[in-house]
Amino acid sequence: MIRRRRECERCTRRFTTYERVEEMMPLIVKKDGRREGYDRAKIINGLKRACEKRPVSIDTIETIADRIERTLQERGEKEISASVIGEALMRELHDTDPVAYVRFASVYRSFKDISEFMVELEELIKERKGPLARAAKPPNSTDPRQKKD
């Protein structure tokens, strides 16, 4: 981010502008096959909605967006699936704020019913409690994500 102090030639009032170097970002391939240009504002807005009324600063949201962009650039691909970005955002939110993570996951994963949502919540609770909680509780046979032999 480049910060510049400027002066209006007409009224001589001074102001600050912020400039960002525009890197070549990949095209995003949506679920339906459409392709669109990468839009940082969509990432920021999605994060803001998930973090609404949560103790997550705008600086943290910007930092998450920066990490996502850096990851996309480092991959060096011309096209990238929107699901890759969605999963990366979920990992970031999982580590940042569990409520924001669940909010984002509920929209991103489009749960079909409350049981799918509860499975996700239970998994989050297990991870928060640590490995002892996972060892003490036997696997749930009604978990739709578990494979059946």
Q: CA distances (Å), 131 to each of 125, 127, 136, in order?
A: 11, 7, 9
Please say if the pLDDT value at position 131 is more than 60. no
Of 77, 126, 85, 122, which is closest to residue 104 (Cα–Cα)? 85
The per-residue pLDDT for range 38-70, each reduced to its tens digit, is: 999 999 999 999 999 999 999 999 999 999 999
pLDDT beyond 70 at 104: yes
Look at residue 20 and tell me if it is in a domain.
Answer: no
Q: How far is CA 41 from CA 48, 69, 140, in A?
A: 10, 12, 40
Taking the C-alpha atoms of residue 70 and residue 65, their distance in angstroms, rounded to an integer, is 9
User: Per-residue pLDDT for 146 more than 60?
Assistant: no
The number of folded domains in the chain is: 1
- Does 4 reside within a domain? no
Helix, strand, coil shares of the chain, percent, nearest 5, are 50, 15, 35
Domain of 123?
A: 26-136
Q: Are 43 and 25 in contact (CB under 8 A)?
A: no
Asked if 102 contacts 121 with a C-beta cutoff of 8 angstroms, the reply is yes
Q: Assess if residue 144 is contained within a domain.
A: no
Task: Establish if 94 belongs to a structural domain.
Answer: yes
Within-domain flag for 91: yes
User: Which position has the higher pLDDT, 117 or 29?
Assistant: 29
Residue 68, domain member (yes or no) = yes
Residue 144: its pLDDT value, please?
A: 47
pLDDT at position 50 is 92
Binned at pLDDT 50, 70 and 90, residue 141 comes out as very low
Residue 146 lies inside a defined structural domain of this protein: no
Q: Is the pLDDT of residue 149 over 70?
A: no
Does the residue 57 lie in any domain? yes
